[in-house]
Structure 1
């Protein structure tokens, strides 16, 4: 799903510019968006125990952080799907929604960038499952440090605060660098989240010892 997210952030436009104008990037974007939504629904069904347990038990800082991050992902996915349906020119064009397109476009832009951050934080909650060994973690951490520069240079904070009203895909230096920058941004927030969780775990361990 993380790889599909990167493709949706710019890959479709890359293929449009690199190959042929007959390549319908909007259609591919819509199809991949639907696939991503189905994957998230499947993910939630598989992990439905988390949803059932939301109202059970006590909430400490660790559980609050996990709930906010997971809730943020779900909320962004819903906004992306709803706004995507409204903006659809292919897959859902038969619905015929012609109003609220301006709001939907703004919502899609805002939700997509917050989604990237929340997904990265979500990965950070389980980073030790994906990255094993000190060398691998060192590489991911170094990538995360570069992610600070990429986050600022790519102007993600502008999209997240609606200071950038439209999506400007910058492929001036090639799609490979674009992908590397976004992977680094994801690594930045994933590693940061892991450090936060380690600090909280250590705090509660010492507190309860």
Structure 2
């Protein structure tokens, strides 16, 4: 986030004109691209780490104490489908090449509709949210069992 802020300030010629920053534009562009893609992935994963809390709040707001098992599996299947579509989009857009600076220039398809772009970005966000949520569950499960055994 700090890299995004610093590179954004350097790239901004109007908002921060009073700072009279000159030079460093190529480095700032490169830093901004790398930091923005990493920021996107890490923020999505951060959301996944808190997804259980979001589910609890949603259940409280809808006054549902317990969902039916069928509903839970339908929601899990939908989440998995979104994650799979997100993985396909992540691969298709070659995001890894931007994250590891294999490609220094962002290429955009201006023929693609804005709805499609948002759908792909939401799906990619869903991918990393899904990965973080279920990775955290896998890690916490043995720890929970261990604490429970120690309590007995």
If the length of structure 1 is used for normalisation, what is the TM-score? 0.60
Q: Deviations over 1:185-205 (max 9, x none)?
A: 110010110111101110112
Alpha-carbon separation, structure 2, partners of 1:129 and 1:204: 19
1:207 aligned to which of 129, 146, 149? 146
1:186 aligned to which of 120, 125, 135? 125
Alpha-carbon separation, structure 1, partners of 2:110 and 2:83: 21
How many Å apart are 1:136 and its aligned residue?
4.0
Structure 2 CA distance for partners of 1:198 and 1:89, relative to 1, 3 Å:
same
How many Å apart are 1:99 and its aligned residue?
2.0
Number of paired residues? 133
Partner in structure 1 of residue 82 of structure 2: 143
5+ residue gaps, structure 1: 1-76
Alignment pair present for 1:83 and 2:3: no
The within-5 A match list for 1:116-155 is 116-131=40-55, 134=72, 135-155=74-94
Specify which structure has the bigger relative contact order, considering alpha-carbon pairs within 8 angstroms and separated by 6 or more residues: 2
1:169 aligned to which of 92, 104, 108? 108
The within-5 A match list for 1:32-47 is none
- Output the aligned Cα RMSD: 1.6
